[in-house]
Amino acid sequence: MKKIDQMTKEELVSEVKNLRSRKKYGLVWENKPEKVVDDCTKKLPVLIEDTKKNISADKSSEINNLIIEGDNYHSLSVLNYTHKGKVDVIYIDPPYNTGNTSWVYNNKYVDSNDQWRHSNWLSFMKSRLQLSRDLLTDDGYIVATIDDYELFSLGLLMDDVFGEQNRAGVIVVENNPRGRTSNRFFATSHEYYLLYAKDVSKARLYNLPLTEDQKQVFKYEDAISKYRKRPLRKSGASSRRKDRPKQFFSIYINPKTLKASTEKSKGCIEILPIDNTGQERVWINGIDTFRKFAEDGTLIVEESKKGYSLFVKDRIKAGRKPRSVWVSPKYDTASHGANLLLKMFGSKVFDYPKSVWAVKDFLYSLIGDKPNATVLDYFAGSGTTGHALLELIKEDSIPRRFIVCTNDESNIANDVTYPRIKK
């Protein structure tokens, strides 16, 4: 490279333009061109229907699901002609790039000795994520599962493609409760789901149905519904009087009737939101909401030797907002992924399949009861996403469709994905 004082004016201008065009923040990597991407600029891939493999469980249904066998970049290129702006959720489980030769780049297995391993992976992912964005509906989502090997790289890459402002969540799922004992330090027991919206201002998240354990918490019942008792005095963050001064007010209890009011009357006991340490706290709501609670039977007043305690009836709901950490035996990949396939096929047919119930619950949180929603998975592997959506449909009878794409490496499309969906 020439020294600056040896450059011509034209060379200096070119160098300045190059420097200004560089990213100021984010991922920078050596882009290694991928042959399949270059080929698609010259030739358009074509899908050919194999009518002999049609599966018809319900001939009256107008829903057509698709299993596409072939390179996923080819598949995405074609889908951008047929399904642009029509996909509600893209769920992908890409290669984790652990160095165990689990994926191919430019017709070559990528292993831990490849000095371009991370750059190749980023180039591979970016080309597919860019095509993915145009497939999503305006209120659509894309979710990518990943582990620690490429977590930070994938997060920055998805920030770049979908916009950091559209990052809807980073969810931790305990997929291996026993922990990976081969780890040198912590025994890894989880993986991540990176969730991005096409436009976060238009996207919606659906509540997950309550589990049996969650339902058990609502152990009281009146003529309206089951409920649990929630303390009227607020605790934790923003619970001090100086934080919410309008929620600090006197409540008066009639000791004979245990009726509560904000109006002082003869013989009533004044109650203030002061905790056991003498700290001035606040009530969970303002004075108008309290009056409503007192009138409609939502308020509970209990008397004990220590005085009076105030609660409100927190009524049972049909569902609960999904949390950022998912822990349940049904998300165990060994029990509900590998062992499930073992029962279906009688032998081991795929390494590390996802729990079908983890995928099912995640899809429901994104599409809920929305009819005719379309879900795409272009790293379909054994077909867990299609299986999960079929389980969801079987459960609530709401019509939805899936498109799953996989190559036929090691005959997986014909020996595993297709027969699994058929079963």
Write the pLDDT tens digit of every residue in 300-312.
999 988 899 999 9
Q: Which of 157, 158, 188, 156 is nearest to 173 (CA)?
A: 188
The Cα 158–Cα 334 span in angstroms is 29
How buried is residue 226: exposed, middle or buried, by Cβ count under 10 Å (0-12/13-18/19+)?
A: middle
Number of Cβ within 10 Å of residue 281's Cβ equals: 21
Contact (Cβ atoms closer than 8 angstroms) between residue 116 and residue 168 = no
DSSP 8-state class, residue 351: S
Residue 30, pLDDT score:
79
How buried is residue 91: exposed, middle or buried, by Cβ count under 10 Å (0-12/13-18/19+)?
A: buried
Sequence-distant (≥ 6) Cβ neighbours of residue 237 within 8 angstroms: none
Q: Which of 248, 233, 219, 217 is nearest to 308 (CA)?
A: 233
Successive 10-residue mean pLDDT values, the chain, 423 residues: 82 85 76 85 91 80 88 95 97 86 69 78 94 98 95 95 97 94 90 98 95 91 95 93 96 94 93 94 96 95 92 93 95 94 92 94 96 96 96 94 91 93 94
**pLDDT tens for residues 98-126?**
777 666 776 676 777 777 778 889 999 99
Q: Hey, what domains does the chain have and what are their CATH numbers?
A: 63-209+320-422 (3.40.50.150), 212-315 (no CATH)
The Cα 130–Cα 391 span in angstroms is 30
Between strands 307-315 and 226-231, the pairing is antiparallel
Measured at the alpha carbon of residue 293, what is the angle toward residues 291 and 298, in degrees to the nearest 5?
160
Contact (Cβ atoms closer than 8 angstroms) between residue 371 and residue 63 = no
Residue 180, pLDDT score:
87
pTM of the model: 0.83
What is each CA distance from 139 to 90, 101, 198, 244, 402, in whole angstroms?
Answer: 12, 36, 6, 35, 17
The Cα 359–Cα 92 span in angstroms is 10
Radius of gyration (Cα) for the chain, nearest Å?
28
